[in-house]
Structures are given as C-alpha cells and as structure tokens.
C-alpha cells in the first residue's frame, strides 16, 4: 500500500492550483458525503503526532504553523481525490464500454457498459463474469509489471503522463500504444494476436478520458488497466483458456471498471504512475530505449 504522506507530497505542488477552481463550484457538496468514510481512516490522525516532538519550547509556534499547513494540505489532497473519485466512478461505465468495443467489438462493449453501469449504481466493483475469472485477482496487488524491467515499467508511466498532457490527439493515442507495448511483452502467439486490439483499447480509452479537462488525469490509469489485463490473460492462458479478442475485451473492460470504479484504486494508480514518471525524469542520463 502506498504511504499516504508520500501520496500527499507527490501531489502537493503538482495539483495545488490546477484543479482548484475547476472543481470548486461544479462539484461543491456533490460528493461531500459519498466518500467521507472511504478516506476518513486513510487520513484521520495519521500526521497528528508526526511533528509533535519536532519543535519544542521556543519553536512551538513554528511547529504549530507547520502542523496547520500540513493539515490544510492533507485536507486539500483528500478533497481532490474524493472529487476525482466521484468523477471516475461516474465515467467508469462509459470507459468500460469504449474499451470493450475497441478490443472485443460492439457486442462486448455494449454488454460491458451495461454491467459496469449496473455495478456503479449498486456500488459494487465485481463483474457478473466473476465466476469465469474466479481466483484471477487473489494476488492482484502483489504483482507488478510481470516480465518487464523496472526501467521499462517506468517508461510506460512516463508515456502515460505525456499522453495526458500533449495537445495532439493522434500523439496521445500513439503514446498509449507505446505504453501498452512496454507493459505487454509478447510471450506467445495467442497474446501476439490480441495485443493490437488491446493497444487499440488503450488508445480509445486515452481519447475518451482526454475529452474533458476533468477526466484528462485519468489517462494516467491506463498503464494500471493494461497491466491488470495482461496479468489476467496470462493466467487464463496458463490454465488453457486461449486469449481471443472477445475475451480480452471482457477482461480489459472489467479492469477499467475496477480501476475507475474504486476511488482508492484509481488514486493509487495515478500516484504510482506520477511517482515512476518523476523518478525516471530525474535520471536524464538514461536514454529512452
């Protein structure tokens, strides 16, 4: 689990002003209670005593000021992700339909969108396809980019970060295809056949999320969605289930819903992507391969 203070520090400067006015009026009060419990334990009291002993005596006022600034920052940070989580949850069914259609065809996309919409209304994050993929997610938070070097994984996140910021739609979609190729090294002929469809799904997901300034940051969840999709398809293939476009469409649509439909999962995917992108940006001597 990502450390909350690390998450806060990562976004303290990057998003301090970017969304302040954009979300303030439109969503004020809309998600005020919806995610109150979701983040309450995550932040409440976590830094209450962190600087308790840092400044004593003559420096008490300085300590108090630091603590107040930190609390305000944490509140702003938590509020940002509460609002973003609400937006992501609302667009999850649309994104699942877009991805399912791009990868598996219109039939898969329509079914995925309908199921995702139903689950969003019910507040659930599991598909009715759960039985088909039972056991595939037991260790989903224990693996990373399987078969991919740390550097290549970081490059994928750099590409996703760039895809969320470039002005050209064509360039953004090309970057989405590039980060998908980094995450999905071809290990079998069956996976080679479905990879182009998954690249298309990532590109269409990127295009859809870029349509609004409010959802553009969600482009950074693309590598996490592809990573999860690749993991599930590899496990299914190992069990004798041949990857097809239809199957890949169902799996990728499901992972899109799971990532966007859970505020915490979505936030952590964005933070992880930004952390890796920033880490590799600090190593200018490492050329892109």
The pLDDT tens digits for 200-230 are 999 999 999 999 999 999 999 999 999 999 9
φ and ψ at residue 143, rounded to 5 degrees? -115, 165
| Confidence band of 64 (pLDDT split at 50, 70, 90) | confident
pLDDT, tens digit, 9 for 90 and up, residues 7-16: 445 444 444 4
Q: How confident is the model at residue 145 (pLDDT cuts 50, 70, 90)?
A: low
Cα-Cα-Cα-Cα dihedral sign, residues 47, 1, 228, 167:
positive
Q: Could you tell me which residue, 43 or 183, shows the higher pLDDT?
A: 183
Residue 133 reports pLDDT greater than 60: no
Q: Do the beta carbons of residue 93 and residue 111 sit within 8 Å? A: no
Q: Which two tokens stand for residue 31?
A: 């998600």
Phi, psi of 113 (to 5 degrees): -65, -40
For the residues 45-67, what does the mean pLDDT come to? Answer: 55
Q: What is the DSSP letter of 55?
A: S
pLDDT band at 250 (very low <50, low <70, confident <90, very high): very high
Q: Is the model more confident about 277 or about 100?
A: 100
Instruction: Please say if the pLDDT value at position 20 is more than 60.
Output: no
> Stretch 160-187: mean pLDDT, rounded?
92
Residue 31 has pLDDT above 80, yes or no: no
User: Which of helix, strand or coil describes residue 286?
Assistant: coil
- pLDDT-derived band at 123 (thresholds 50, 70, 90) equals low
Average the pLDDT over 140-146 and give the result.
50
Question: Which is nearest to 269 in space by CA: 104, 94, 92, 50?
Answer: 92
Q: Which has more pLDDT, 174 or 86?
A: 174
Give how far Cα 226 sits from Cα of 8, 28, 81, 92, 102, Å.
Answer: 25, 33, 22, 15, 14
Q: What is the CA radius of gyration of the chain?
A: 20
The predicted structure's pLDDT at residue 26: 37
* Residue 168, pLDDT score: 95
Residue 132 has pLDDT above 50, yes or no: no
């Amino acid at each position: 689990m990502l450390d909350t203070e690390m998450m806060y520090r990562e976004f303290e400067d990057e998003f301090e002003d970017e969304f302040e006015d954009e979300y303030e009026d439109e969503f004020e009060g809309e998600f005020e209670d919806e995610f109150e419990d979701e983040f309450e334990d995550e932040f409440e009291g976590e830094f209450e005593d962190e600087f308790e002993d840092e400044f004593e005596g003559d420096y008490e006022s300085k300590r108090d000021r630091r603590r107040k600034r930190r609390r305000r920052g944490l509140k702003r940070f938590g509020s940002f992700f509460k609002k973003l989580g609400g937006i992501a949850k609302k667009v999850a069914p649309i994104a699942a339909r877009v991805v399912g259609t791009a990868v598996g065809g219109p039939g898969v996309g329509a079914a995925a969108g309908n199921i995702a919409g139903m689950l969003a209304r019910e507040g659930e994050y599991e598909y009715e396809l759960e039985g088909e993929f039972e056991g595939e997610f037991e260790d989903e938070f224990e693996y990373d980019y399987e078969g991919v070097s740390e550097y290549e994984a970081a490059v994928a996140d750099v590409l996703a970060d760039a895809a969320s910021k470039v002005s050209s739609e064509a360039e953004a979609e090309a970057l989405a295809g590039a980060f998908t190729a980094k995450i999905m090294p071809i290990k079998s002929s069956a996976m080679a056949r479905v990879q182009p469809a998954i690249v298309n799904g990532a590109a269409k997901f990127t295009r859809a999320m870029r349509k609004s300034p409010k959802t553009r940051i969600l482009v950074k969840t693309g590598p996490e969605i592809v990573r999860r999709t690749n993991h599930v398809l590899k496990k299914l293939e190992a069990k004798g289930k041949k990857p097809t476009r239809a199957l890949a469409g169902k799996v990728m649509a499901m992972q899109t819903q799971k990532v966007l439909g859970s505020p915490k999962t979505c936030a952590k995917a964005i933070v992880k992507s930004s952390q890796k992108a920033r880490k590799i940006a600090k190593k200018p001597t490492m050329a892109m391969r």
